[in-house]
Amino acid sequence: MPVITNRPYGTKDVLPAEVNKWQTVERCAAETAECFGFKEIRFPTFENTMLFKRSVGDTTDVVQKEMYTVTAKSRDNGKDPEDFTLRPEGTAGAARAAIENGLLNEALPQKVYYIISCFRHEKPQAGRLREFHQFGAEMYGSPDASADAEVIALAKSLLDRLGLTNVELFINSIGCPKCRAGYHKALKEYFEKRRDELCPTCLDRLERNPMRILDCKSPICQGIAKDAPVILDYLCDECSAHFEKLKRSLADMGISFSIDPKIVRGLDYYTKTVFEFITKDIGAQGTVCGGGRYDGLVEELGGAPLPALGFAMGIERILMTMENAGSEFVPAKKCDLYIASMGEAAQRKAAVLTNQLRAEGYFVESDVMGRGLKPQMKYANKIGATFTIVLGDNELETGRAKLKNMASGEQTDISIGESFIDEFSNNLIVEMFEDKLNTIE
């Protein structure tokens, strides 16, 4: 019978055999963030559309082309329908949640992280899906370049922990509204000379935000932008000093970087520092992490003026890079024990023992399919059980059974009575210790 419907275009199923890879990244991300003092925040999958138009910018590709937006009946009986958008990124939602819930009134800096799914309507390709996942970190309250360096250090620390060594850090400053005014003027003059060659989207950007042209994906527009004026030549004294301090701070921490004056990032809320971690291991879509400072965002969303900064990592791209680099993943949890049974009484006893061990945190299985002994043992071998026990009338009568090590074939006599949990635990600890020794050797 054919499948009624397939998964939506541009999405991906993560099956049990690969979930451990995702869990490796997610656990490492959470643990690393917490070492830097970041705490987890969770916020809705969809927000009022205006949130993204105000924060991301209505001249960006995200707002103009990629958002999934729906119109829903309003709370006042549909008189004024409301627009909602599936989040295309995490920074805006995290900032809105921090403002609305008074988080930014508490001791500063406030540091939060999140692991979320995001949605963008674009052409799917390697490392770029319509539903994708991000690990993000945001810091609110500090205007100092040392905070920029700390956020970059967090990203670098996680990449190192995941075994990604062939990743380069690129940094830039895109200044503040004060110095960007002069830069925008220079850009507009430059692009005006070749406006007939620009794509329709960039023609609109030329009037509203010429910096966005530098981020265009069109090869023609990229070629035109190659010789455009450089933002670093237009920085005001404050932004220039901030950038110099960032470079010193990174050097002090031993974090290597290159300056790329063409990095502007694709969202309008960025100011001053912007950065990207890029790998060549996954082809053209090599940016595995991007972020920067967005000092005006909190005020733009209705909060008091407050500097802020952060980054996001694409988990799909991180996984691709890890696989290409041969990084290690935390192995999937292995079945500690399979209890096979012969007969109804033995099956009932097996269920009791299984439940007792599971309550102690062990991964234990027993038959729920009504299989015979041979198929049960075949199944135990297929799921990679470390130990097996076979229960029958004789074992129920004597209160003892044979605990079999599936790797070595060795068997140990074990109680299935009151001391069962302790005896099994001791055997499992010995096996784990010996297995670790063999791995070291």
Domain ranges of the chain: 16-176+236-325, 337-428
**pLDDT at residue number 107:** 97
CB 29, CB 136: distance < 8 Å: no
Residue 441 has pLDDT above 60, yes or no: no
The per-residue pLDDT for range 318-346, each reduced to its tens digit, is 999 999 888 999 999 999 999 999 999 99
Over residues 93-122, mean pLDDT: 96
From the CA atom positions of the chain, what is the Rg in Å? 28
Torsion of CA 4, 8, 11, 17, to 10 degrees: -10
279 Cα distance to chain centroid:
16
Query: For 337-428, CATH number?
Result: 3.40.50.800
pLDDT digits (tens, 9 = 90+) for 53-106: 887 766 566 776 788 898 887 766 656 678 999 999 999 999 999 999 999 999
Domain 16-176+236-325: give its CATH superfamily.
Bira Bifunctional Protein; Domain 2 (3.30.930.10)
The single residue listed with the structure tokens 């921090």 is 98
Q: Which amino acid is at 248?
A: R
Long-range contacts, stretch 428-433, CB < 8 angstroms, 24+ apart: 428/336, 428/337, 428/362, 428/386, 428/387, 431/386, 431/387, 431/405
Q: Is the peptide bond before 375 cis (omega within 30 degrees of 0)?
A: no
pLDDT at site 263: 87
Quick: pLDDT tens for 213-225: 887 878 999 899 8
Nearest-angstrom CA–CA distance, 322 and 266: 25
- Is 436 a residue whose pLDDT tops 60? no
